[in-house]
């Protein structure tokens, strides 16, 4: 099968969950299909990263986004947003250079399916030229933005409320127009079908490389916690603030000396000012390999209050045999249960007490870690996820044929 895949950014470097998912699925699919990749690039690191994609993609094409004149481009898009029915999320990725590229490729080669790897690319479906279109929803974006709007205030709340309305209409239309919509969880699939009853959905859960991520075999440092996620994504920033302000002080009241290491990109160093009065939180930044940091930690904490899809950070933790304490939102979409694969708690006091249980009880930590490892070995591997992607492509092709 010839697949024309379009992404909002280069899958390499692997610096966030979306990139990990896209990279691993495309690499697995390329073992039996021909992949042509068209990717927006937003940094020199992404331009360099596309060289790695050429190792298994038949063709790789790059379109710059916010690289030549970022401030001017952003202002232009904000003005377009004022007069457009489409949300800013989609307007950003409707670029003439990408439209021309897709038209040229589709006109020159017989592709079997167009794969748009995020709702943000939905306007590009107009260029499919009759090709079966598969749309991946890494999150239900309207639900994600609604949760962010609930936590906002002042002018930002007003702006987000307007974007939620536009995004809701856009997302409902996009999932109905695509011949197949790929979601990361059954929860997300159900939400999208409620938005548009015509949506054809297939759940392709996130996965993990169980050979790369495996138990370290060494004892962790006492009283050490880890959170994985970059500050550039609002749900991560909110989670770390929730942990710093409401949860960690409760933990330290009963167990002084507990520390938290945050691993992930910090795009704006001024964000760290928010945590200047939290000396027990260490920001490691973007690292080449999270495994040494995970091996040092007694437990992963996932205090997410905003989110969707499924959490690669939890699957990585499970594969490494690390116990996890998460909110229900943090682990939604995963087939897990409280006190079986992880501990689940939503309010600050309950989350603190659950974390203390793991810190104080090595037997509990070991039991949860083993159960998590068993879970990913059984249900969350990339080869299985890629086979489900094949089903999505077949569904889209059948829909066009019908």
How is residue 345 written in tokens? Answer: 């708690």
| The CA-based dihedral angle spanning residues 178, 184, 187, 192, taken in that order and rounded to the nearest 10 degrees | -20
* Size (the chain), residues: 402
Where does the pLDDT of residue 395 fall: very low under 50, low under 70, confident under 90, or very high at 90 and above?
very high
* Nearest partner of 298 among 211, 212, 217, 365, judged by Cα: 365
Where does the pLDDT of residue 294 fall: very low under 50, low under 70, confident under 90, or very high at 90 and above?
very high
Q: Which residue has the higher pLDDT, 218 or 259?
A: 259
Asked whether residue 402 carries a pLDDT value surpassing 80, the answer given is: no
CA 393 to CA 1: how far, in whole Å? 9
State pLDDT tens for residues 124-157: 999 998 999 999 999 899 988 888 888 788 999 9
309: left (phi over 0), alpha (psi -120 to 50) or beta: left
Tell me what percent of the residues of the chain surpass a pLDDT of 70.
99
Asked whether residue 371 carries a pLDDT value surpassing 60, the answer given is: yes
State pLDDT tens for residues 338-363: 999 999 999 999 999 999 999 999 99
Q: What single DSSP character describes residue 247?
A: I
For the residues 264-292, what does the mean pLDDT come to? 90
Asked whether residue 372 carries a pLDDT value surpassing 90, the answer given is: yes
* pLDDT at residue 256 in the model: 95
* CB contact set of 123 (below 8 Å; sequence gap of 6+): 86, 90, 91, 93, 94
Range scoring the smallest mean pLDDT among 114-118, 181-185, 309-313, 336-340: 309-313
Asked whether residue 66 carries a pLDDT value surpassing 60, the answer given is: yes
For domain 224-379, give its CATH number from 3.20.20.120, 3.30.565.10, 3.40.50.2000, 2.40.10.10. Answer: 3.40.50.2000
* pLDDT at residue 150 in the model: 84
Asked whether residue 310 carries a pLDDT value surpassing 60, the answer given is: no
Strand ranges across the sheet with 259-263:
281-285, 259-263, 224-228, 299-302, 324-326, 343-344
User: How many other C-beta atoms are found inside a 10 Å radius of the C-beta of residue 108?
Assistant: 8
* pLDDT at residue 308 in the model: 57
For the residues 77-97, what does the mean pLDDT come to? 92
For the residues 12-25, what does the mean pLDDT come to? 89
Q: What is the CATH number of domain 2-207+382-401?
A: 3.40.50.2000
Q: Which helix (H) or strand (E) holds 63?
A: strand 59-64
CA 116 to CA 137: how far, in whole Å? 9
Question: Residues 238, 301, 26, 398: is their CA dihedral positive or negative?
Answer: negative
Where does the pLDDT of residue 306 fall: very low under 50, low under 70, confident under 90, or very high at 90 and above?
confident
**Beta strand pairing status for 133-137 and 113-116?**
parallel
For the residues 282-294, what does the mean pLDDT come to? 92
* pLDDT at residue 14 in the model: 85
* CB contact set of 102 (below 8 Å; sequence gap of 6+): 4, 6, 38, 124, 127
Strand partners, 339: none
* pLDDT at residue 401 in the model: 76
Q: Give the residue extent of every domain in the chain.
A: 2-207+382-401, 224-379
* CB contact set of 53 (below 8 Å; sequence gap of 6+): 10, 11, 12, 23, 26, 37, 39, 60
CA 183 to CA 188: how far, in whole Å? 6
Where does the pLDDT of residue 223 fall: very low under 50, low under 70, confident under 90, or very high at 90 and above?
very high
How is residue 323 written in tokens? Answer: 């116990």
Tell me what percent of the residues of the chain surpass a pLDDT of 90.
80
Q: Do domains 2-207+382-401 and 224-379 have the same CATH topology?
A: yes
Q: What single DSSP character describes residue 208?
A: B
* pLDDT at residue 370 in the model: 97
CA 237 to CA 271: how far, in whole Å? 9
How is residue 123 written in tokens? Answer: 């306007």
Burial of 58 (0-12, 13-18, 19+ CB in 10 A): middle
State pLDDT tens for residues 168-199: 999 999 999 999 999 998 989 999 999 999 99
Q: Which helix (H) or strand (E) holds 278?
A: none
Asked whether residue 369 carries a pLDDT value surpassing 70, the answer given is: yes
């Amino acid at each position: 099968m010839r697949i024309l895949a379009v992404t909002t950014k280069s899958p390499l470097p692997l610096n966030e969950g979306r990139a990990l998912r896209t990279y691993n699925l495309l690499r697995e699919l390329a073992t039996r299909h021909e992949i042509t990749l068209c990717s927006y690039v937003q940094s020199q690191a992404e331009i360099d990263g596309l060289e790695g994609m050429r190792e298994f993609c038949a063709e790789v094409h790059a379109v710059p986004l916010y690289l030549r004149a970022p401030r001017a481009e952003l202002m232009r898009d904000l003005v377009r947003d004022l007069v457009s029915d489409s949300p800013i999320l989609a307007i950003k990725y409707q670029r003439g250079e990408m439209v021309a590229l897709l038209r040229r490729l589709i006109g020159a080669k017989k592709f079997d399916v167009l794969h748009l790897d995020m709702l943000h690319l939905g306007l590009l479906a107009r260029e499919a030229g009759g090709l079966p279109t598969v749309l991946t929803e890494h999150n239900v974006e309207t639900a994600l933005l609604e949760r962010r709007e609930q936590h906002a205030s002042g002018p930002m709340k007003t702006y987000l409320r307007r974007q939620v309305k536009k995004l809701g209409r856009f997302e409902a239309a996009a999932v109905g127009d695509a011949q197949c919509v790929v979601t990361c969880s059954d929860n997300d699939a159900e939400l999208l079908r409620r938005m548009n009853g015509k949506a054809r959905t297939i759940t392709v859960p996130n996965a993990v490389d169980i050979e790369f991520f495996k138990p370290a075999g060494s004892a962790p440092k006492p009283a050490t916690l880890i959170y994985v996620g970059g500050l550039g994504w609002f749900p991560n920033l909110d989670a770390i603030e929730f942990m710093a302000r409401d949860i960690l002080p409760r933990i330290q009241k009963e167990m002084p000396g507990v520390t938290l290491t945050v691993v992930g990109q910090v795009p704006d160093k001024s964000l760290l000012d928010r945590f200047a009065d939290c000396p027990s939180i260490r920001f490691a930044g973007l690292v080449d390999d999270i495994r040494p940091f995970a091996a040092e930690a007694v437990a992963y904490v996932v205090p997410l209050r905003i989110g969707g899809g499924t959490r690669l950070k939890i699957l990585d933790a499970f594969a490494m045999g690390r116990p996890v304490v998460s909110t229900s939102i943090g682990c939604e979409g995963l087939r897990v249960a409280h006190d079986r694969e992880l501990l689940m708690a939503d309010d600050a006091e309950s989350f603190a007490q659950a974390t203390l249980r793991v810190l104080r009880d090595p037997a509990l930590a070991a039991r949860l870690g083993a159960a998590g490892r068993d879970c990913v070995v059984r249900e969350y591997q990339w080869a299985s996820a890629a086979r489900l992607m094949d089903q999505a492509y077949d569904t889209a092709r059948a829909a066009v044929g019908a």
